[in-house]
Structure 1
Amino acid sequence: MLTKALNHFKKNDPILYKVALMVNITGLVKPEDPFIDLVETIINQQLSDKAAATIFGRFKKLFPEEKITAEKLLKIPDEKIREAGISYSKIKYIKGIAQQIKNKKLNLKNLENLSDEDVINELVKLKGIGAWTAEMYLMFTLARPDVFSAGDLGLQNAIVKLYKIKQKPTRERLLEISIKWSPYRTTASRILWRSLDLK
């Protein structure tokens, strides 16, 4: 997949291809438990990578042997989770999802059989999940190859920097730019995020 993606960029976008050779991107591995991944994505909303990693690390320590499950999460007092650095609104969201899983109203494994669009439509029905969280879930939990999150600030900044765009691009313009990376927009996104670390 990675080789095919790089060959595609080499042909269709020399700028992105050049950056791809400068950053280290590996293949995506699907996580074992989609619930843990979804909880982490919600916790990470609007946080820098460093802050997100610290807070999620503290959150994991609240569980015996750091094994996160919906049932165990529901038993932890909100105040304890708040002490890990997670806002009360996010606590409400992750516990709401945990409750739905416990009540068998939600089965995240079933999402694997849906199209990208249908996964987004199902996820945004859950409180605390917007388009960005659903797109991250598609990229990193379901390892879907052709996802681009036009609302992601990091991707916007990387595109402005790499393509020397003067004005902040509109959502439509970003999607237009991303078309040349299809069907490998997930890999393109990962390259763009990594490009922000380049001097």
Structure 2
Amino acid sequence: MTTQKPFSDTIIEATTYLRHADPVLAQAIERVGPCTLMPDPNIFEALVDAIISQQISIPAADTIMGRLRRLVPENRIEPHTLLPLTHDDLRGVGLSNAKAHYIQSLLEHITSGQLHLETLDAYDDEEIIQQLCAVKGIGRWSAEMILVFCLGRPDVLPVDDLGFQEAVRQVYGLSERPKPRDLRMRGECWRPYRTFATWYLWAWKERLNGKHRPRTRIVSL
């Protein structure tokens, strides 16, 4: 039986590798400090949060999430606590009609056995993305964020993430945001630790913009 190494060991290995692979990232690592990314195993709550957060501000998403928590037993966002809620209940906490349907779609996929969140980690990255994207309202970006923030997969490159695109533009002094194909090419030297390269670029962008909050949840910054 293979024992999985601690995530903290992966961070150390990734940081050492990236320091040597990319001098710009070496500067980011020096300025940002230790990577504080720590996977949160509550995939269901993260998916609900990702659906709620689509195309609205972080404070607005937090408000809706708080209302939803207060609506369920012990404030626990889990499939069995959300199942009794009606479409009108979901609309009542501030969700749009579409987002209420998306959460119900997620619940249907779980209760029908089409999606087993507890065994997702047994699959490779692309298989996980395919399974999650089968749920209405969950796209590739949200699935990649689950890989990063819940499953701690080390080699995810979210080329469609606007915050990542802007981070690369700022940090590397580009005149415009790079296209996904450009990011894939740039990211080749970061393999097999593209997740951590992405995290450091997010974090350094936030510092350049006068903020000091490393990204810890599924939002587009």
Matching of residue 26 in structure 1 with residue 65 in structure 2: no
Report how far residue 92 of structure 1 moved.
Answer: 0.6
Cα offset for 1:59?
2.2
The 2-side partners of 1:56 and 1:62 are apart by 10
Q: 1:6 maps to what in 2?
A: 15
Partner of 1:108: 117
| 2:161 corresponding residue in structure 1 | 152
* One-letter amino acid of the structure 2 residue matched with residue 29 of structure 1: P
Aligned pair 1:45/2:51, yes or no?
no
CA RMSD of superposed structures (Å): 1.9
Counterpart in 2 of 1:169? 178
Out of 183, 187, 193, which is 2:192 matched to? Answer: 183
Q: How many residue pairs were aligned? A: 198
Question: What are structure 2's unaligned runs of at least 5 residues?
Answer: 1-9, 209-221
Retained in 1: the 8 A contact 2:39–2:151? no
Answer whether contact 1:139 1:186 (CA < 8 A) is retained.
yes
Compared CA separation, residues 166 and 179, structure 1 to 2 (3 A) = same
TM-score by structure 2 length?
0.81
Partner of 2:203: 194
Q: Quick one: structure 1 residues 17 and 52, their matched pair in 2 at CA, closer, same or farther if it must change by over 3 Å?
A: farther
Per-residue CA distance 1:139-181 (angstroms, 9 max, x = gap): 1121111101000000000000001111332211011111222
> 1:115-157, CA deviations, whole angstroms, 9 ceiling, x for partnerless residues?
1111112211211111101101111121111101000000000
Please, which moves more after superposition, 16-25 or 152-161?
16-25
- Which range is displaced more, 166-175 or 148-157? 166-175
Do residues 133 (structure 1) and 142 (structure 2) align? yes
Q: 1:55 aligned to 44, 54, 64, which one?
A: 64
Name whichever of 150-159 and 16-25 sits farther off.
16-25
Equivalent residue number for residue 95 of structure 1: 104
Q: TM-score, normalised by structure 1?
A: 0.89
AA aligned opposite 1:26:
T
Task: Letter of the 1:13 partner, please give it.
Answer: D
Distance 1:22 1:50 in 2: 28
Deviation at 1:8, TM superposition (A): 1.3
Q: Tell me, yes or no, if the aligned pair for 1:44 and 1:52 is still in contact at 8 Å.
A: yes
Larger deviation: 42-51 or 90-99?
A: 42-51
